[in-house]
Amino acid sequence: MSNSLKEKFFNKSAKVAVVGLGYVGLPLAVSTAKAGYETHGIDVSHDRIKKIQSGESYILDIDSMELKSLLGRRLFVDNDFSSLTVADAIIICIPTPLDKNKVPDLSYIKDSVEQIANYMKEQALIILESTSYPGSTQELITSVIENKRKLKVGRDFYVCFSPERVDPGNKNFNIQNTPKVIGGETANCLAMGVALYKHISKDVVPVSATKVAEMVKLLENTYRSINIAFVNELTQLCERMGINIWEVINAAATKPYGFMPFYPGPGVGGHCIPLDPMYLSWKAKLYGHYNRFIELASDINENMPRYVVGEIADILNNEGRPINRSVILLLGVAYKKDIDDFRESPALTIHSILEEKGAKVQYYDPYIERFNLNGKMVKSVTLTSEVISNADIVVILADHNTENYETVVKHAKIVYDTRNATEGIVTDNVILLGNCRYAKEIMNYETKL
């Protein structure tokens, strides 16, 4: 085993490269630099590198001042992969999306591994943090580098998988205080990975293999996807039964053991929950195994935006209005509260369908100034009392803490709240996803029993 590499991690003389400086990579590069390692961030996006070089953070959780204080001192960023030649550790944080047929698109990993194989030095440690199916690290990194460079893993270079678990926008948990799971291709590889990560995260959780660590991440995110789907399904039942799902969940959450609350919403978004379980179910099929739970959860969650559109149509219909030509104001288009990430956000699907049906859709999001919707740039409105009162319906899709929901409710004709952001506001112009809406309909169901 290379004691000198371990020694370099211990005395902080090791150089770390982070490949891919997005929501995962930039905070990680800042953390390794703050931990005392000379860190080289590499990204193919010229725009992102230019922004970082000018000290501008595009990730909400990273403060521009902090970034500036590290730049040129311990943090260096570039589009050029040649800095990999000096790296003792290379951490990969690049996208793992699905293609349009919901099949894993591994092209980003393959491209970056190609570059790593070209430039890495012997004895380097490579860690994959991007989420992927069990077996990815071995198939896409270890065997590629062994073949291309004629090196032996565990002896000439080291490979680990360590899932990124950080929750964007979470003020309590970060890279330092979230336990770091890690698996190595060999015992030597694991020892190297642990030797580095124990200086970055407070608790390191070693597991026996890279495929175990890969499966840990998929278990965590599939667990979320399935539980959110279950609660979204129960939401639809509660609406028919005249029961407030939020009240049910909050009461159930008082049980001190055996229950963890999940909340309904307009659907799931982001780069993790809608995608990661599909990586697992895709790989499972190659083993002749069909993950019905995963597919069912994905089906329910993916249908939530359409369910929400159906509810908007019903609410407007009750007011004697069709969707066509109604002014609909969407509040929050990020996929969850207090973040600026709108990748896979259900708000985009809702916006799109409403527009197709002829609605005049506007949106407001303090974190997302504009975005491209089906090839057309749409821009956030300024949230004034006039904009609110002009809308036929205001739909809360992301419950950012920046908003004063009392003011929204006060000026709106009707509010459809898919996040329970209006909890505690006593008014009769709010309709809540997961609450009873039509007493008459409920009576009809009940008299049939």
Nearest-CB residue for ligand NAD: 22
- Number of Cβ within 10 Å of residue 240's Cβ equals 14
Q: Shortest Cβ distance from residue 113 to ligand NAD (Å)?
A: 9
> Is 189 designated active site?
no
Q: Shortest Cβ distance from residue 20 to ligand NAD (Å)?
A: 3
Beta pairing, strands 370-373 & 376-379 = antiparallel
Q: For residues 449 and 446, give the distance between their C-alpha atoms in angstroms, rounded to a whole number.
A: 5
Q: Shortest Cβ distance from residue 195 to ligand NAD (Å)?
A: 23
Closest CB to ligand NAD among 264 and 269? 269
Residue 100 token pair: 């349009």
Bridge partners (DSSP) of residue 246 are none
Closest CB to ligand NAD among 82 and 407? 82
Residue 315 token pair: 């609410």
Beta pairing, strands 38-42 & 75-78 = parallel
Closest CB to ligand NAD among 93 and 159? 93
Q: Shortest Cβ distance from residue 236 to ligand NAD (Å)?
A: 28
3-state DSSP helix/strand/coil % of the chain, to nearest 5: 40, 15, 45
List strand residue ranges (DSSP E) for 71-197, in order.
75-78, 89-92, 125-128, 158-161, 180-184
Closest CB to ligand NAD among 107 and 317? 107
Beta pairing, strands 180-184 & 158-161 = antiparallel
Which candidate in 93, 160, 189, 272 is catalytic?
A: 272
Residue 98 is classified by DSSP as B
Residue 169 token pair: 């926008």
Q: Shortest Cβ distance from residue 427 to ligand NAD (Å)?
A: 35
Q: For residues 19 and 79, give the distance between their C-alpha atoms in angstroms, rounded to a whole number.
A: 10
Q: Shortest Cβ distance from residue 39 to ligand NAD (Å)?
A: 15
Q: Residue 219: which residues within 8 A CB-CB, separation 6 or more?
A: none
Residues in the site for ligand NAD, rule: CB under 6 A?
Answer: 19-25, 42-45, 48, 93-96, 108, 111-112, 130-131, 164, 166, 168, 270-272
Q: For residues 154 and 165, give the distance between their C-alpha atoms in angstroms, rounded to a whole number.
A: 26
Closest CB to ligand NAD among 23 and 363? 23
CA–centroid distance for 192 within its chain? 28
Using an 8 Å Cβ cutoff, are 197 and 223 in contact? no
Closest CB to ligand NAD among 1 and 166? 166
Q: Which residues are designated catalytic?
A: 272
